[in-house]
Amino acid sequence: MKEITAEEVQQRLENGEALNLIDVREVIEVRSGHIPGIINIPLGLLEAKLPDLDKKKPYIMICRSGGRSFQATAFLDSLGYDVTNMVGGMSAWEGEVE
């Protein structure tokens, strides 16, 4: 399974890269602060949202501490998606939040 640090994600965003960030936290958690530009798909709804995801696009999965995003990454990876887990989740994020 591929992994990326919060710092690496922040650097890539600051360098102007367009990243496909999926935050798998619950809606109420996301409202308390999230990385600008994320797509929120709570972990429990991920399977139902598969038709909305493109296997040709790389995705970075995010949650609070890295556990739920790890599960989401493993699930999507098993289905052939190009996914990477952001280690440490929002607990490790030091960049801008909305």
pLDDT in tens, 40-92: 999 999 999 999 999 999 999 999 999 999 999 999 999 999 999 999 999 99
Q: How far is CA 23 from CA 14, 16, 73, 87, in A?
A: 19, 20, 11, 13
Question: According to the model, what pLDDT value does residue 52 have?
Answer: 96
Number of domain units in the chain: 1
Residue 12 lies in a domain: yes
Does residue 33 sit within a domain? yes
Catalytic residue from among 43, 63, 72, 83: 63
Residue 63 a catalytic site member: yes
Domain that holds residue 62: 2-92
In a domain? residue 98: no
User: What is the per-residue pLDDT for 23?
Assistant: 98
* pLDDT at residue number 36: 95
- State the pLDDT at residue 76: 98
pLDDT for the residue numbered 1 = 92
Residue 97 lies in a domain: no
